[in-house]
Amino acid sequence: MEIICKPNKKKLIISIALYSLFIVLGFLLIFKSDIFAASYFAKSLGLLGKSITIQIIGFLSAIIMSLLFAGTVKLYFQNYALILNEKGFINNTNFTNVGLILWKDIVDLKINKRTHNSLIFIYVKNKNKYYNKVKNPIIKLNILTYNKAYKASFVLETANLIISEDELFEILKKHIKR
């Protein structure tokens, strides 16, 4: 039996549009920093209103939003966001796909309910077994960032799925009890 969770294309389009807007804003901050620094608001910020600080903020915004944009576009063109089968699951809900994660390696699951994006935390016996499979440095950095931020081996993001977070959590719990 295989369960395929498809991505919610409408939400992904909205995310792509917002990320694009922030990328453009980042480039405006980089190349037109003098205009922003001359504003009354920027002058009242002191050091934060300096042209170089505005350029740094623009650069960071453009880089971070570009990475989010790339991950979201990639998910948009995928036929699935999550595949569950008898052996395990493949997580494509974010930019951290390590391939098949085996049910037998999962030791715990937790859910963090939020208004817009509930997260399901997956804890495995030997996370380095999976982390070492990843050769792409951007994906590896993303995995380590999720691990550091959430103290979980893997994170399933439910915002862009058609299935509800509660339904998905119950399915996952049934699979790891076997």
Question: Tens of pLDDT along 92-143?
Answer: 888 888 999 999 999 999 999 887 788 999 999 999 999 999 998 888 988 9
Query: By percentage, how much of the chain surpasses pLDDT 90?
Result: 50
Q: Do 90 and 82 touch, CB atoms closer than 8 A? A: yes
What is the model's pLDDT at position 149?
92
Strand order in the sheet with 154-157: 106-112, 119-124, 154-157
pLDDT of 23 > 80? The answer is: yes
